[in-house]
Amino acid sequence: MIWERRSLVPLRLVLGLGLLSLIAPAVEASPSYNAINLIPHVVGGLNDSGQNVVWHGFIADSQKATDLGTLGGSSSSIAAINDSGQVVGQSATSGGNVHAFLADGKSMTDLGTLPGGNNSAAVAVNL
């Protein structure tokens, strides 16, 4: 698998037997690609490449990219995706902490923290 990144739109992923064009958000941004599933969807984070350097988690397929939002704070990033389309990562909360989340494309669930902790992150998701 070879990643080719000349510009954000389009991003090309070469998969041995063919070429899949992934359309990422049409904004000036600096992407971080973290995972791909068999559908294929690609997930990661985008920053605004300028003023505030705010990261937002996204999921992209061959047609579009979708910003998954946050848990009330200013930033998020997606670490992993499974073949069912569930994603996990971390997001800033409205209280200023960072929490792990699970999202299914319709909603984002705050996974909280371990007892006594203020922050958490999710880095993998199973089937």
> What letters, b where the CB count within 10 A reaches 16 and e where it falls short, cover 33-62?
bbbbbeeebbbbbbbeeeeeebbbbbbbbe
- In CATH terms, is domain 28-112 a member of 1.10.150? no
Q: Render pLDDT for 31-73 as a digit per residue (tens, 0 to 9).
A: 777 888 888 888 888 776 555 667 888 888 777 778 888 999 9
Residue pair 79/68 in contact (Cβ under 8 Å)? The answer is no
What residue segments make up the domains of the chain, in order of their start? 28-112
Q: What is the pTM of this model?
A: 0.75
Work out the average pLDDT over 14-26. Answer: 43
Residue pair 28/46 in contact (Cβ under 8 Å)? The answer is no
